[in-house]
Amino acid sequence: MAYHGISTNLILYLTRKLHQGTVASANNVTNWSGTVWIMPILGAYIADAHLGRYRTFMIASTICLMAMGLLTLVVSIPSLKPPPCLEVNKGNCKQASKLQLAVFFGALYILALGTGGTKPNISTIGADQFDDFHPKEKAQKLSFFNWWMFSIFFGSLFATTGVVYIQDNVGWSLGYGLPTIGLAVSILIFVAGTPFYRHRLPRGSPFTRMANVIVAAARNWRLPLPNDPKELHELDFEKYSVERAFRIDSTSSLRFLNKAAIRTGSWKLCSVTQVEETKQILKMIPILVCTFIPSTMLAQTHTLFIKQGTTLDRSVGSHFQIPPASLSAFVTISMLLSVVIYDRIFVKIMQRLTKNPRGITLLQRMGIGMILHIMIMTIASRVERRRLYVARENGLVQNGGEIPLTIFTLLPQFMLMGTADAFIQVATIEFFYDQAPESMKSLGTSYSMTSLGVGNFLSSFLLSTVSHITKNNGNGWILNNLNASHLDYYYALIAVLSAINFFVFLIVSKLYVYKAEVSGSINVLADALKERN
């Protein structure tokens, strides 16, 4: 609720209160969101290497609460905003001063720093509560990330309906104050459960361990690998048992890295398990790259989709106006329904057909989401073409006035985005958690958030580049006046990029080899499915 209470309506605060243009405000939203989602790499490192997940989360939560309090204060003090202005072209309004911008964005980026420690660790702490060696708990864990995302979007639903309405119609002070109070309550609830949690201790820097493997393999590149993997260096089972760690057998993938475990006296030996952990992290990188474009698409729901809504008829009855950002609630509603249907119905049907405890593989689930993304941007382009046609027919191109077309025209692209999220977003976070080594779960989880961060930065780059090129050619696709723009072309471009990305993903996913389970419980579940059928 706290994150979406800020991000969903941020573009309207920047344009209406700080008087920024369409491209500048959209880029500021995506740059901030990109930072929010890229910071988990730092939070994951601190948790896995030094403080542990619980302590890192608690410190980061405190920073988030302080930042939310500061943001609430900033939007409440008139001197920290330029005077009101009703001009359609915000370039004609008095711009925010450097001090006003510094204070507002300073609070935003402190919040981004705090979320870097909360986002990769809270979901990981949740998944850690299930025992991989217990078949019943393993089965529950397979549904955990579905319900994890359900809870996130339940908070988002309140943010995109109640909080957004309050921001638009009551005031930004209360609109930011409520998420701040909600965050404080959630931290208290989390702390109350502390005695019941299973805690994982940090095991040192994952980056250092991986670097040691890569350097050792490079130093030993001339040495031949032994025919028997058992001749490679490995620690005794007792060592892993004492540290409550998992030992991993040698595999043939990325075989060059196995040379890091060759017994020599010239370099610090790496164990086979350390080598395999490095392989598991590196093997996920091509999949990670393929999630950047889908994350770029997701950024549109908080920027250009919302700006489109401001140009349409938002009336419901004679007195009520729908806040443009409230359309994001339909993403949430669609996602909530889709997760329930997926977990309770779709998975059970597919289990009978595939004998897979998950129903379908995580990469197959991601692929379905990518196909939906191509459909979404194709539909968005057609809808925008219709909106521009109505603007021309009513002579509203130059003055940028409200178009006599209901805001619910945008509903299909928002609803489909929620369905796509139920596939790709849930699968992404579960895939990177599941496929990461046991000692690097926070780092693995941060991969899914890094995807969102890079996607937002990529959205900023794409928007700025397309805007600059098309303006220079005399027919700008993205202008402050959307009625004179060509967002339909821009959406079509994203649809093409999504299609290209999907075909690359097909190749990468075909080559990917899932890691072996550290316990036999998944096999027990699979055997139970076969016996049941």
DSSP, residue by residue, 5-44:
HHHTTHHHHHHHTS---HHHHHHHHHHHHHHHHHTHHHHH
- Say what the pLDDT of residue 89 is: 63
Is residue 343 classed as helix, strand or coil in its secondary structure?
helix
Is residue 316 classed as helix, strand or coil in its secondary structure?
strand
- Say what the pLDDT of residue 146 is: 77
Higher pLDDT, 509 or 532: 509
Q: Which of 49-53, 317-321, 507-511 tops mean pLDDT?
A: 507-511
Any idea what DSSP says for residue 83?
P
Cβ atoms 38, 32 nearer than 8 A: no
Distances in whole angstroms, Cα of residue 320 to Cα of each of 169, 308, 314, 316, 409: 10, 19, 8, 5, 18
- Tell me what percent of the residues of the chain surpass a pLDDT of 90: 27
Choose among 375, 380, 388, 382: nearest CA to 424.
375
Higher pLDDT, 240 or 79: 79
Is residue 315 classed as helix, strand or coil in its secondary structure?
strand
**Which superfamily is assigned to 284-532 in CATH?**
MFS general substrate transporter like domains (1.20.1250.20)
- Say what the pLDDT of residue 332 is: 82
pLDDT at 267 > cutoff 70: no
Cβ atoms < 10 Å from Cβ of 308: 24
Residue 507's pLDDT band (boundaries 50, 70, 90)? very high
pLDDT in tens, 91-123: 677 888 888 889 999 999 999 999 989 988 888
pLDDT in tens, 381-424: 999 999 999 998 988 888 878 888 888 899 999 999 989 988 99
Which pairing describes strands 312-313 and 403-406: parallel, antiparallel, or unpaired? parallel
Choose among 167, 173, 202, 274: nearest CA to 54.
202
Residues 6+ apart with CB under 8 A from 445: 40, 44, 120, 121, 123, 124, 429, 432, 433, 436
The number of residues in the chain equals 533
Phi, psi dihedrals of residue 44, rounded to the nearest 5°: -65, -40
Distance CA 306, CA 287 (A): 30
* pLDDT, average across residues 343-357: 87
Q: Find the radius of gyration of the CA atoms of the chain.
A: 25
User: In sequence order, what are the beta bridge partners of 316?
Assistant: 320
Cβ atoms 72, 177 nearer than 8 A: yes
- Say what the pLDDT of residue 532 is: 62
Distance CA 69, CA 34 (A): 22
Task: Please tell me the least confidently modeled range out of 86-100, 209-223, 404-418, 502-516.
Answer: 86-100
pLDDT in tens, 155-212: 888 888 888 889 888 888 999 999 999 999 999 999 999 999 888 777 777 788 888 8
pLDDT at 287 > cutoff 80: yes
Choose among 400, 437, 461: nearest CA to 516.
437
pLDDT in tens, 127-165: 888 877 777 887 777 778 778 877 887 888 888 888 888
Distance CA 469, CA 476 (A): 8
Exposed, middle or buried: residue 307 (CB in 10 Å: 0-12, 13-18, 19+)?
buried
- Say what the pLDDT of residue 520 is: 52
* pLDDT, average across residues 68-97: 81
- Say what the pLDDT of residue 305 is: 86
Residues 6+ apart with CB under 8 A from 281: 206, 210, 436, 437, 440, 443, 444
Q: Name the average pLDDT for the chain.
A: 85
Any idea what DSSP says for residue 95?
P
Vertex 451: Cα angle to 288 and 213 (nearest 5): 50
- Say what the pLDDT of residue 12 is: 84
Cβ atoms < 10 Å from Cβ of 278: 24
The reported pTM is: 0.75
- Say what the pLDDT of residue 335 is: 86
Pinpoint the alpha helices (H) of 77-205.
98-128, 135-158, 164-169, 172-192
- Say what the pLDDT of residue 522 is: 55
Distance CA 209, CA 214 (A): 9
- Say what the pLDDT of residue 529 is: 61
- Say what the pLDDT of residue 87 is: 65
Residue by residue, DSSP assigns 238-285 as: HHHHHTT-------STTGGGGGGGS--SSS----HHHHHHHHHHHHTH
- Say what the pLDDT of residue 524 is: 55
Higher pLDDT, 378 or 483: 378
Q: Which two tokens stand for residue 256?
A: 């060059």
Helices (H) and strands (E) counted in the chain, each on its own, are 22, 4
pLDDT at 429 > cutoff 90: no
Q: What share of the chain is helix, strand, coil (3-state, %, to 5)?
A: 75, 0, 25
Residues 6+ apart with CB under 8 A from 470: 476, 477, 478, 486
Matching CATH topology for 1-201 and 284-532?
A: yes
Report domain extents, the chain: 1-201, 206-276, 284-532
**Which superfamily is assigned to 1-201 in CATH?**
MFS general substrate transporter like domains (1.20.1250.20)
- Tell me what percent of the residues of the chain surpass a pLDDT of 70: 93
